[in-house]
């Protein structure tokens, strides 16, 4: 569904004009669509109807409490990768029995917190982590349900910085070592072997890597069962890509994904966990900025906006393509711009040689597909304030994270004379 569109030349989020939000809140800001998030979730729900599946939202994609609460109200669980994300999920009302804890470096404190809340499952990523979970669970008199995250050594064809399923990546247990790892888990107190977990990357745009990975998972489940393990769950991770360029759709659909899961894994009789993140929120969000200057260079014309790489890191970090559009269709002739921010880094570039109707200082632009891995990766580099987040619902909107002030930001620093020796 088109939750962002032009109506009478005005760019709107659902029924709200973006320029009206900008007038009230200033720029830059993130804007999310409730209808867009709900529609994306229900598409997964419909695609997997008839499956015994738990949809656990990958909180790392967008951890705003309002977003998590919205998805929890629809029935979503949560995939968390830190104690902080676990606390966010619990605070947003996600039932503990719908929470899975992933991540390569779970600390004893984080494991204890998860055990105290009796979460559904730990996705274990190493032998030392397994020993730690057993030790903490035994001390607390609890039993931890675990699945090993298996690294299938499969190239998902994604950017090298978001690849997680190849042998050189830091994630998971090598698939060749799985039987040994499960045998050790069966020996340990405080641990119950529940399933097999796999996550091969992010922004995956073809089903072929999933097919190869699912085949390997199915074979492993049968092998582990033959070894005497009661494997009742397969966690398929997330990673399904989205179309950041609406003009050239390439991403597989949840429906196609569900068909593949059924074909390759349904015969196992396992419960399934899926962990979509990006595909639930990316295209339900935009980043809005104002034009500060138009600078004529020798080789390029620079459109300098007030949003920057510290607000939205994906273009700089991943060379990611995002649609960029004017907030007002002004009827001016097209011009070609390099669209950049004010941060003192050449990498602070959102797009090169992008054609837009002529823009002048004060005009507003939107960077599309910014609902995932946007605000969660933001920083205060160059002493820039974190930007507000707005959630639109029909013809209304609310600020769901305020813009902080400079006194609060600078006040985090302590003078030497006021400093302490413990944190």
Nearest to 153 by CA among 223, 204, 200: 200
CA angle 22, 27, 32 (to 5 degrees): 70
Rounded Cα–Cα distance for residues 170 and 218 (Å): 23
The tokens describing 164, both together, are 């997680």
In the residue annotation, 344 being an active-site residue is answered as yes
Contact 73, 57 (CB under 8 A): no
H/E stretch holding 401 reads: strand 396-401
- According to DSSP, the residues that pair with 305 across neighbouring strands are 291
- According to DSSP, the residues that pair with 122 across neighbouring strands are 101, 146
Rounded Cα–Cα distance for residues 9 and 306 (Å): 23
In terms of Cβ atoms closer than 10 Å to its own Cβ (0-12, 13-18, 19+), residue 106 is buried
Nearest to 203 by CA among 170, 158, 256, 149: 158
The tokens describing 210, both together, are 């999933």
Rounded Cα–Cα distance for residues 195 and 215 (Å): 16
Contact 365, 330 (CB under 8 A): no
User: What is the DSSP annotation of 202-258?
Assistant: SSB--SHHHHHHHHHHHHHHHHHHHTT----EEE----B---SSTTS--PPPHHHHH
Rounded Cα–Cα distance for residues 112 and 278 (Å): 29
Which of 25, 270, 344, 423 does the annotation list as catalytic? Answer: 344
For 274, list phi and psi in degrees, rounded to 5: -120, 150
Active site positions, annotated: 344
């Amino acid at each position: 569904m088109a939750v962002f569109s032009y109506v009478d030349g005005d760019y709107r989020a659902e029924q709200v004009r973006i320029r009206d939000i900008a007038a009230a809140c200033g720029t830059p800001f993130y804007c999310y669509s409730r209808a867009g998030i709900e529609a994306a979730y229900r598409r997964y729900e419909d695609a997997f109807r008839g499956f015994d599946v738990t949809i656990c939202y990958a909180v790392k994609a967008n951890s705003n409490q309002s977003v998590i609460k919205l998805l929890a109200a629809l029935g979503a669980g949560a995939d968390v990768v830190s104690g902080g994300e676990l606390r966010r999920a619990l605070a947003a009302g996600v039932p503990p029995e719908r929470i899975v804890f992933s991540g390569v470096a779970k600390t004893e404190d984080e494991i204890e917190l998860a055990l105290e809340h009796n979460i559904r499952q730990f996705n274990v990523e190493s032998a030392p982590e397994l020993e730690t979970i057993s030790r903490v669970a035994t001390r607390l008199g609890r039993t931890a349900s675990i699945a090993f995250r298996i690294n299938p050594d499969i190239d998902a064809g994604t950017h090298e910085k978001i690849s997680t399923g190849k042998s050189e990546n830091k994630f998971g247990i090598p698939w060749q070592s799985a039987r040994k790892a499960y045998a050790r888990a069966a020996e340990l107190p405080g641990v119950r072997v529940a399933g097999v977990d796999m996550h091969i990357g992010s922004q995956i745009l073809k089903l072929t890597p999933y097919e190869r990975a699912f085949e390997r998972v199915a074979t492993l489940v049968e092998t582990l069962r033959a070894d005497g393990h009661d494997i009742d769950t397969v966690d398929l991770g997330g990673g399904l890509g989205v179309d950041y360029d609406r003009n050239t759709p390439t991403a597989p659909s949840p429906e196609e994904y569900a068909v593949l899961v059924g074909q390759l894994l349904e015969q196992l009789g396992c419960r399934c966990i899926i962990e979509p993140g990006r595909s639930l929120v990316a295209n339900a969000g935009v980043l809005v900025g104002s034009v500060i200057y138009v600078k004529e260079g020798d080789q390029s014309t620079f459109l300098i906006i007030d949003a920057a790489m510290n607000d939205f890191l994906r273009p700089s970090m991943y060379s990611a393509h995002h649609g960029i559009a004017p907030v007002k269709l002004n009827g001016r002739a097209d011009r070609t711009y390099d669209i950049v921010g004010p941060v003192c880094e050449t990498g602070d570039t959102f797009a090169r040689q992008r054609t837009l109707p002529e823009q002048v200082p004060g005009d507003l632009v939107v960077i599309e597909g910014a609902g995932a891995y946007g605000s969660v990766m933001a920083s205060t580099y160059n002493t820039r304030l974190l930007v507000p987040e707005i959630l639109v619902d029909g013809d209304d909107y609310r600020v769901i994270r305020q813009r902080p002030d400079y006194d609060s930001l600078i006040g985090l620093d302590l003078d030497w004379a006021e400093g302490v020796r413990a944190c």
